[in-house]
């Protein structure tokens, strides 16, 4: 991946930040995109201090104008984007019948429309070049029902099928589109779901009352676990893999 150019959304923290560091560690120049300009600047400053090549690109994935401008700036200043990672995501918790219109709209705006807007901006530049790889960070919740997560699960299911359809359409241009589907990962998003100090153990052990089986590997995923899967799918080692969803959940979805 030396001297390849990558664009990663949701780059200011969690899985997105881990992906940025992993790609930069492989020698890529990484454009780190996030709407939180302050957190993004701090994250990028830390990585550049380690000698990694990372650029801060503040933008909101739900805004077509900001995304198109960001992609244009990255390519004009640095060259063609080789890799795209859609890692931006939000979570709004509520039972399906109690979800507000705002919760539903905000979740789909980032998790689904954001994937569409950024992927479209990048893939339209990749097609004439006849190369490129895209990975969308989805979720095992896209195929496994979870209480209180209807909006999140539905948005990730939509992003999953969008990415697979895109992969089918651009395969003839030498562009691969894949997904990584994490389960419970040790990030601020997961911590925000926990009501008390016992929630970590309950996540690992499972909860019969919520129809959750727990995690067979007996541990949460780290952001680096997910980032490693992303890097693999972008790399030449996955050169004949496209339209595939790689689940990284410690067995929580029982391989289904």
Per-position DSSP letters for 189-225, written without gaps between them = HHHTT--STTHHHHHHH-BGGGTB---TTSSPBPHHH
Q: Is 152 a catalytic residue?
A: yes
Evaluate whether 119 touches 86 at the Cβ level (below 8 Å).
yes
The one catalytic residue in 18, 152, 214, 253 is: 152
Evaluate whether 81 touches 125 at the Cβ level (below 8 Å).
yes
Pairing of β 132-137 and β 83-86:
parallel
Selection from 174, 139, 175 nearest residue 157 by Cα: 139
Cβ partners under 8 Å of residue 240, min gap 6: none
The Cα–Cα gap between 181 and 52 comes to 27
The Cα–Cα gap between 69 and 53 comes to 21
Place of tokens 């410690």: 250
Residue 26, phi then psi, degrees to nearest 5: -90, 5
Residue 36 CA: distances (Å) to CA of 42, 72, 100, 140, 243: 10, 20, 24, 26, 30
Dihedral through CA 107, CA 73, CA 27, CA 234, nearest 10?
Answer: 40
**∠ Cα 196 199 204 (to 5°):** 170
Known catalytic residues? 152
């Amino acid at each position: 991946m030396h001297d390849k150019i990558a664009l990663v959304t949701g780059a200011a923290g969690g899985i997105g930040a881990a992906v940025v560091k992993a790609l930069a560690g492989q020698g890529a120049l990484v454009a780190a995109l996030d709407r939180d300009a302050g957190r993004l600047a701090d994250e990028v400053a830390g990585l550049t201090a380690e000698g990694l090549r990372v650029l801060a690109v503040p933008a909101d994935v739900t805004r077509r104008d900001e995304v198109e401008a960001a992609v244009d700036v990255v390519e004009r200043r640095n060259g063609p984007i080789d890799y795209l990672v859609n890692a931006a995501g939000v979570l709004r918790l509520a039972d399906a019948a109690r979800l507000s219109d705002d919760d539903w709209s905000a979740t789909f705006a980032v998790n689904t429309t954001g994937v569409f807007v950024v992927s479209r901006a990048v893939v339209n530049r990749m097609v004439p070049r006849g190369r490129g790889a895209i990975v969308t960070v989805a979720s095992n919740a896209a195929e496994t029902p979870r209480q209180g997560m209807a909006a999140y699960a539905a948005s990730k299911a939509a992003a999953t099928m969008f990415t697979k359809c895109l992969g089918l359409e651009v395969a003839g241009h030498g562009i691969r589109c894949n997904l990584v589907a994490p389960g419970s990962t040790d990030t601020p998003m997961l911590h925000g779901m926990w009501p008390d100090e016992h929630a970590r153990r309950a996540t690992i052990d499972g909860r019969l009352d919520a129809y959750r089986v727990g995690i067979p590997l007996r541990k949460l995923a780290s952001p680096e676990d997910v980032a490693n899967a992303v890097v693999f799918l972008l790399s030449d080692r996955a050169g004949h893999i496209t339209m595939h969803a790689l689940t990284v959940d410690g067995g929580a979805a029982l391989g289904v």
